[in-house]
Amino acid sequence: MISLLGFLITVGILVTFHELGHYGVARWYGVKVLRFSFGFGPVLISRRFGRDQTEWALSAVPLGGYVRMLDERDRRDDEEPIAEGDLPRAFNRQSVWKRFAIVAAGPLANLLLAVLLLAAMYMVGVSGYQPVLSQPAAGTPAAMAGLQSLDRVVAVNERPVTVWQDVNRQLLSAGITSSAVLTIERGSSSFKAPLAMAAMAKDDGEGPPLERLGLHLYLGAPLIREVSADSPAAAAGLQPGDRIQAIDGITLDTPSAMTARLNRAAGTTVELTVMRHGATLTLPVTPRQETAASGKAVGRIGVVLTGDPEVGERYRVTVRHGAVDALVLGITRTWDLTALSFKMIGRMIIGSASLKNLAGPLTIADYAGQSIQAGFQQFITYLALISIGLGVLNLLPVPLLDGGHLLYYFAEIIRGRALPERVIEIGQRIGLALIITLIVLALLNDFSRLLF
C-alpha cells in the first residue's frame, strides 16, 4: 500500500509539473489551452477558469495528466468549428520556434523541479557518510592504487568531496574511458591515487558501479540483523546481534566484504569469528550455493546484514548550505545526473551497459515506498532523481515522446517546411514499437528484481 501511495504521489507531482511546463509556455505565447487534466480517462470533476475558460479537470486514472491546446488537426467531429478569431491562437499555426519551445518546456520543467528540490535539500541539510573506505578486494583498481581500509577521500579530480554520495557522483560523471585521481588522507598525510575506470564497464547488472572499482564505504564489522529459519546460518548457531569480525581469519570491515567472501566460498565450509555479548566465538558455516538473477553462482547463509551502528554514527555528517550555494549545487548536480543519464542510455544502446539497468513502474513504486518510509529527505531526493529521469526520457528523439516532436521541428527548421504527414506517421509507428519494447524490458527487469 505504501509503495502504491508513493508511486501515485511521485507520478502525480512529476507529471503535473511536466504538463505545467507545456501549459505555462503555451499561455506565454498566446496559445489557447482547452483543458488541463490531472489524470487520464473519464473526467470526474471539472471547473472552467480565466478569459479562455480553460477546463481544469480531475480524471479517473491518476497516472499522469495532459494539456489539450487548440489545434485544427485534432478537432473532434462533435465539436463546433473553431471561431475565426481563435485561429491565430491554434498551436498548429504557431511558428516552429514557438512550437519547439512549448514542447521542450515539459521535460525542462522536470529538470527545473529537480534543481529546486535538490537546492531545498542542500539548504535544509543533506545527511550522509564521510567518504572513508573499506579494504578493497585484491586485484581491483582500488587495491592496485594502494588504497587501504580507513583511507578518507577528500577530492576526486581536484573537486572536493564531503560525503560518499559526492564520490559516487564524481566518479560516475568521469566516465569509463578516463582515469580518475583521488586525493586521499591517511592519518596525518595525504597523497594522490590514480584509479583506472575501465573496470566500471564490466557491467553484469550486479552491484553498484563503484564496487567494480573496489571502492566500498567503511561500515565496520558486519552485524547480523536477521537469521532465516532452516538456513546454514541457523544451523551454525548464528543469532541476530552477532558481529562478524572475520572469515577464515581475514578481517571484515563492511557487509559487502562478507558477502563477496561467502560468494567465493559457496559449497565449502568457512570459519566465522563472531563477537557475541563481549565474547569471541568461532563458528563453522557452509554457504549454500544458489543462482542469482544474473545467472551467477553465489554463496548464501540466510542472514540479513547491516553495518556497525556505532561506526555509522561516528562517520555520519549533515552538510548545510546557504541559498545561493544550494542553488548552484542543485544546478550542478542536476546537470551531472542528466549527463550521466544520457551516457548510460548511450552505453545501453551500444551494448557496453546491461539492459538490466532499465527500471519499470514496479521498481519505481517499490523505491518510492522505501523512500517514504526512510524519511522526508530520502523521498524528496528520490523525487528529484525520478524527475531528472522523466525529463531525460522525454528529451530522447523517439516519436511519440516530446523529443520526437522536437526532432520533427528541428527537421522543419532545416528544410524550411514541415515533414510530410506520411513520414511523421511512419515515425509514430516506429516510436510506438520502441516504447512498447522498452516497457516490456523494464517490466521483465522489475519482475526479476522483485520476485527472484
- Which of 19, 185, 226, 290 is flagged as catalytic? 19
- Taking the C-alpha atoms of residue 135 and residue 139, their distance in angstroms, rounded to an integer, is 12
Angle at 282 between CA 281 and CA 287, to 5 degrees: 130
Under 8 Å CB-to-CB from 297, ≥6 apart: which residues?
Answer: 263, 266, 289, 290, 291
The three-state secondary structure class of 256 is helix
- The sign of the CA dihedral 286, 287, 290, 291 is negative
Our answer to whether residue 425 is catalytic in this structure is no
* Strand intervals (E) in 50-157: 54-69, 126-129, 152-156
| Kind and range of the H or E run holding 45 | strand 33-49
CA neighbor of 191 nearest in space, from 223, 153, 241, 162: 153
DSSP notation for 389-422: HHHHHHHSS-TTSHHHHHHHHHHHHHHSSPPPHH
Structural contact between residues 306 and 258, judged by C-beta atoms closer than 8 angstroms: no
- Taking the C-alpha atoms of residue 137 and residue 201, their distance in angstroms, rounded to an integer, is 18
Residues annotated as catalytic (active site), given as ranges: 19
